[in-house]
A and B are shown apart, each in its own frame.
Chain A
Amino acid sequence: MKSALAPTLDKSFGDYYVLWYANSNSYSIVDGNFKDILDLYLGAPDLNAFQNELNHLSAKEVQNIKAKLDSYLSSCQVEQDSTNHFDATFDKNHRNLSKTYKIGDNSFRLYSDRKQVEDALHPSLAQYEIQDVNKVNTVFDVYLNENNLHLFQNEALLLAVPKTEYHFIQGKFHMAVSNLIHHKNETDWLGTLHGSTITNGDTALLFIGNSGSGKSTLCSLLVAHGYSLLADDISPLAKSNTHVYYNPAAISIKENAFKIIEPLLPQIKTLPDVFFNPSKGVLKYLPCPKPEQLHYPCNAIVLVNYNPESTTQLETISVKEVLETIIPDSWLHPGIAYAGAFLNWLSTTSFYKLTYSDTDSMVKTISDLFKA
């Protein structure tokens, strides 16, 4: 029954199963009981057969279960609401400011219409700015027009969104820059994971957490202790080798973390204040040295929980807790081969939750985890 609505992929993770639905690119995490009854329902040729399997239950109870499963299956077909993207044609009359960058063998220019708009993209790449005004390989344009923010690459539209959704412009810009420096295109990525990745020069750990959980602060502290930043906030995961790749953006630090970081990284005082959105407050962008390699395997995901009252604790957590945190703010390629590769990568990955307040014991715990 309803086999057309069946999950396209499923994978077992301890007490849970992760089911993936191709029509909607939805990931559903279910427990063993739910998976058993869903399989029974989808495998039964008709309602009578399903009722016969559950013949210890009343017809009303079976109807109730059926209604719940139908409702679940139809919810799994519903796509994520589309972000408010729209078409726009390129207008070069917004080129009031410009910055030029060089990363590896790639040089590119960013034109913008005003300082506040430039501040949404430029400070994260400021360490790669060059004064050379010679020919560049790629030109980006970003500008605000009638409350909509536009981003173009070589005069072709990458994205236009209402200005309140500027985080999609930042995400698209960093994806485009990553494509340039890694010689890839969008179809080469399983996704861009919402989290920050740190490497010890051998492997990498992906730190996740909701906004304000302290992932960027933690990464800054780890960089101060000799680790390398591979990616802040947006961690690109490649399809070919499931490695996390270098994202050249500096670490974005909110005002309330300045005092935690300053004793270890006093240079933060000299970094310019960036302010383009009142709801984010003042930000500083901490540039970090480029890691030795441009990509590393990542075998563990760590959910960050800064708690000033707590001692340092590292505990294992379920796939459910990890995916509930990471999926809603990540982009994951909707193709079946991509979803399958993502699930396979997850199945080889360990999941932890790190609660901490004291830097030294946190660094020791992470150092032990890298060695594990």
Chain B
Amino acid sequence: MKKTNDTNKITRKEAIKKMGKYAALTAIGTFVILNPQKAQASSPPDPGGNPFD
């Protein structure tokens, strides 16, 4: 599983203050990337332990 987060340092407010036409675009915004499992799975086990022993 992979999850990536990013928040740009330039806030929307600062950006709008800065300029005109594409002011909103200077605030690059936020994103998250999520990957599903490649196979069916039940709830993942907690780390550690030694199953079936």
Contact = CB atoms under 8 A, between A and B. Distances in A.
A116 interface: yes
Interface of B: 1-4, 6, 8, 12, 18-53
Contacts of B38: 79-80, 82-83, 331
B45 A57 contact: no
B52 A331 contact: no
Contact of B29 (A30, A57, A80, A144): A30
Contacts of B32: 28-30, 320, 324
A174 interface: yes
A191 interface: yes
Contacts of A110: none
A300 interface: no
Interface string A274-300: 001111100000000000000000000
Nearest to A30: B31
A156 to B, nearest CB: 16
Given A233-B42, A233-B43, A56 B35 contact: no
Contacts of B6: 68, 72
Given A170-B42, A276-B52, A331-B41, 5 more contacts: A36-B24, A65-B28, A277-B52, A327-B36, A328-B35
Taking each of A34, A172, A332, which has the highest tally of chain B beta carbons within 10 Å of its own beta carbon? A34
Interface residues of A, number: 72
17 contacts: A26-B35, A27-B36, A28-B32, A31-B31, A68-B28, A69-B28, A72-B6, A78-B2, A171-B41, A192-B41, A211-B44, A279-B51, A323-B34, A324-B32, A324-B34, A328-B3, A328-B37
Interface stretch (A101-109, A159-167, A309-317, A356-364): A159-167
Contacts of B42: 167, 170-171, 174, 233-234
B10 to A, nearest CB: 8
A61 interface: yes
Name the prevailing secondary structure of the B interface residues: loop
B40 A175 contact: yes
A75 B40 CA distance: 23
Interface in A29-50: 29-37, 40
Nearest to A236: B40
Contact of B26 (A61, A211, A276): A61
B25 A280 contact: no
B44 to A, nearest CB: 5
Interface of A: 24-37, 40, 53-57, 61, 65, 68-69, 72, 75-76, 78-83, 85, 114, 116-117, 120, 144, 149, 159, 163-164, 166-168, 170-172, 174-175, 191-192, 194, 211, 233-234, 252, 276-280, 320, 323-324, 327-332
| A-B pairs, 6 with minimum CB distance | A34-B29, A279-B49, A33-B29, A171-B40, A56-B19, A328-B1
A218 B46 CA distance: 21
A76 B49 CA distance: 33
A85 B6 CA distance: 32
Contacts of B19: 56-57
Contacts of B28: 33-34, 37, 65, 68-69
Given A80-B35, A164-B45, A167-B45, A174 B40 contact: yes
Contacts of A29: 31-32, 34
B39 A171 contact: yes
B22 A167 contact: no
Contacts of B22: 40, 53-54, 56
